[in-house]
Structure 1
Amino acid sequence: MGGQQDPAAELDPEQRAAVLAPRGPVCVLAGAGTGKTRTITRRIAYLVAQGHVAPGQVLAVTFTKRAAAEMRNRLLALDAVGVQALTFHAAALRQLRYFWPRVIGDDQWRLLDSKLPVVAQAARRAGTGTDRETLRDLASEIEWSKASLISPEEYPAAVARVHRATPAPAEQVVAVYANYERLKNEASVLDFDDLLLHTAAVMEEHGDVAEEFRDRYRSFVVDEYQDVTPLQQRVLNAWLGERDDLTVVGDANQTIYSFAGASARPLLDFPRRFPGAVVVRLERDYRSTPEIVSLANRVIEVARDRPAGTRLRLIGQRPPGPAPVFLEHDDEPAEAAEVARRIRDLLAAGTPASEIAILFRVNAQSETYEQALGDQGVPYQVRGGERFFARTEVRQAVAALRTEGALREERPLPDRVRAVLARLGLVAQPPEGGAARERWESLRALAELAEETVRLAPGTDLARFVVELDLRAEARHPPTMEGVTLASLHAAKGLEWDAVFLVGVAEGTLPIQHADGDDAAIEEERRLFYVGVTRARQHLTLSWALARMAGGRRYRRRSRFLSGLAHQDHPAAALGRTTGRSAPDFRSEVARCRVCSAALTAIMAIKLGRCERCPADLDEDLLRRLRTWRSERARKLGVPGFVVLTDATLTAIAEQRPSDVPSLVRIAGIGATKLDRFGDEVISLVRDAGHPAEFTRTE
């Protein structure tokens, strides 16, 4: 070992069992903060030190370059020099370059830097939209299909089977997908998914190649195994052949990439595939305080249909710390201002800015917090996404506003701004999701900024507003070496901070609106929330706002994932509102049957607001009217019916007969977007069915 430390030293009993397990199949179920990277790198170093395998015979794969680099650094510190630690794609690229001359024989095909130009050409041939957002969504759909081993011909049946929302009608996606593959082949180029597809095919179809590879690599390690796609599993199977010298590590509770084709099923089925496998459960959490660990456990333990491999219960190992804080705000600007103020307090108390993070569900939420931190003079950096003023749609909008500002016109500033942004995609109704929704959110943020500017400085014209935008953009360049991190929950995976502010924990945002009506999608949102909670070491604040804009209608509800989190077994939870009104009582938020008051846990029961055994009191005529209305709306919008409102939501409406806004928003599936788009029509249908309103609609 060259004087380096013993790989099995300073490990807890479970980590040590994983490290010292004999060669062969090993499955490490590792909860958040339990030292999984430490464990698997120590296992590799142990196998090398004991002479069970040569360093060059080990291939360790993970999913990001950052994770691969961290693994290599740790292996070097353990004197395991020569072990290959790569991403799946990097490993496949090396193998394909090496074997290509033998199996293909001609010049190697070029690797695409970006698939968007080819997707654009394919879309033009198919007669579909070619704006950047549509192309990004089509590219993502092609990536999902290839990662899921779905051909263009199989695509329509596959998306129908999983109720997947598509960026265009399925037949149009098929045409773009088929054109894309044809264009690539004609140009002799590969995309990143092709690296995996061709690597698997070469191993499967050329026995001599497979034999040479398997003679070189004898032992395999896969990190974050819960994120493996069917395509990556196919490559892994090709690498292994009939062998079983495989160590996998993962946590099914952190599966948050199902939308991209990832599945925890290979992790959960590992003991079934390898009956003699050593299975080790890591549950000692060295990252977070017991208070945060307790909260995380309660977040995930109510998840529906949890397989045995997901039932890890974390055990906090750190000294006690402050209780998690729950804050309700009247509106998003107030929420952001309070977060910024609390961050200033943490900085004053000695917490480094780089050890503080604000986490949100979608990147479009970033701008409000960028502004609030800027107003407080707090440095920050945006991770996993462009800075707000650097986003393509924002730069385009500012350029268009600059041109418009040179024209003399007497219309109010907000009207002029919205007119310009309308030409760039700020339509009245927001898109359901994807890149188009993110673009729409960015443009709406600019429109609301114009309204806020007029409130603060009534005489501001468009030319002055553009100058204000330039000043704001210039001020958003703090030193990159030290700053509060702003990141989406997906971008935060694998990271941790001393203090985490998990913001926007409201229905329609977390869980995201388009997940409603799909139990599997809701459970993925719950896992995403769990990932956010487990990023915090010592300080955790969860917050939400009842309205988007200052002074706006307070129709939002706190997320269903918060129900019961301040239960009797967590009496120290800090609750409050920035408005000075009484703190919310989370214990009363446990969903209860409206008939018998029993606690509800099943998702369908929560949606309907009653136990399955309790009488439905269903208005059949109203339900028929609702379904007819939904069919017509879905036809006009060109979307499946469930995108408008799900069957469960329609049934709940027909049972509860909400005739005003307060009663309508209490129904699961009616968030801010659904209320804005369909609320008046639904209330009108209920009233027309003979259920008079008890209240009038108020702002």
Structure 2
Amino acid sequence: IAVLYRSNAQSRVIEGALFNAGVPYRVYGGLRFFERAEIKHALAYLRLIENPNDDTSFLRVVNFPTRGIGARTMELLQDAARSSGRSLWQGVGAIAGKGGSNLGAFTALVDAMRDATRGLTLREIIEHVVQASGLADFYRNEKEGAERLENLDELVNAAEAFVTQEGFGKDAVALPVDEQAGRIAEGLPAAVALVDTQPDAETGEIMSPLAAFLTHAALEAGDNQAQAGQDAVQLMTVHAAKGLEFDQVFITGLEEGLFPHENAAADLDGLEEERRLMYVAITRARKRLYLSFSQTRMLHGQTRYNLKSRFFDELPETALKWLTPKLQGFGSGYARDYQAAWQRGSGLGSMVGAGRVAAAPAAFEAQARSTPNGLRSGQGVFHTKFGEGVIVTLEGSGADARAQVNFGRHGMKWLALSVAKLTPVD
């Protein structure tokens, strides 16, 4: 079995799902998400914010991006720290001259990032660190840096998904400085003091979303990739799949802007190259091919509602069998697609595979008229961040329900109702 993706950043979602499910997998021709250099650099800065005495993280980023700290300076620092039984961070003051000044500037930078990120959500902490550390500027000016920046954006998405799944709430923020100092004075670990979260219902334990996420990242980056010869799902980019064949192939992320990629969609030659890549991906399958697209995807900390790829329309309808239908509109014409597919006697959903799902048009129309979560258009609601607003549009049902709400000075917002928890006010 092979899972193909257009962008390396996509692999993070797939890897995370396989890791959590305990399914062996191997990344072919590339690195796992948390093994990539830019991700390791960002995580090292984050670990230093939480624990400045982490020598491994200190060594990784003390001179990345370059800040004039050479090998000789680091030898002196390591000797000073070793002789005094202290961490590298604690030994910085023992180094004189220009090297010592540059080391001091580095520790001051980390201290400034720690101060600046108090009171921020985990997503905002990572975004700030990527910018303030110089990582974003470094990769922005690097010839092949666009993909690395995309991976750093995906790290933000990974953090957002993690805190939501783990029950922290994505808006959990750091404590005020005085309250944080009080907790430290009480002997609580620094990680506990960093972010105010609800205590565990059973143990009463309080843990920082940052500390929890760093622990999760370390686990996922551990030695859990399938070994040679072990049955495992093969993960790879479409480019890496050239020349290979598999009995079953899953092609993921078939959305406008992703496959075909947004950088190529406006250019005829670029679009044609994307089409050739699609052909390569399809022909990797010997027996069974599954094509999928995501209706919603987290990007830059925001939920995006996607259009399915134009490549679906370029495939012969008779060759497709649609599975697991999504009946909600989501602005992409899914309702029209469903009704047209029903009239043709076909199901609707993910793609090519065993079985098919269908529902009577009457049931579909009843679902389309329903009001998710007991809300209705024109109703006043309250949101903890955006305040009072008025529902303009309701779409979908169950976990996929969403609403467009006019929050006045905050503007129009699309909200996932499973997360937003809107409170009716009339």
Of structures 1 and 2, the larger Rg is shown by 1
* Superposition TM-score, scaled by structure 1 size: 0.31
